[in-house]
Structure 1
Amino acid sequence: MNVYLTQQAESDPGVIPELRDRKHAAELVATALEHFDLFSGLSDRDDVSVEEFITGEPGNWQTRDDGR
């Protein structure tokens, strides 16, 4: 019998699919962000800027139940 077939592996081959999955996940997130078209609705509104929307600072576009 071949000696190499009876030896324990020195490296973990599971790392390769893990790296592939990470890259694939990043590509899926980028594709989703591109196709969701999150910010085009802001261009039609005069009462909110992109900066206000991103930071979540309350302006005319956001109301709260407690009156703040």
Structure 2
Amino acid sequence: LDVFRTEPLPAAHPFWKHPLITVTPHTSARTLREESIAQIAGKIAALQAGQPIASLAGVVDPKKGY
């Protein structure tokens, strides 16, 4: 399953431990391996060069719930 009425699915939700259910990420497209690797490597290089995390695209903000 990848879509729920409440997202993100609460940590205590029984689906997480149900033996017949697998919870997967809600994504809209297939991940392209080479492009993804290049994006991750670019972000690592930027961080190693001293660029602040907030300036990077796609940074997860746990306070927003995603």
Give 1 or 2 for the bigger CA radius of gyration: 1
Which one has the bigger helix percentage?
Answer: 1
- Report the TM-score, using the length of structure 2 for normalisation: 0.29
- Report the TM-score, using the length of structure 1 for normalisation: 0.28
Question: Relative contact order: is structure 1 or structure 2 higher (C-alpha 8 Å, sep ≥ 6)?
Answer: 2
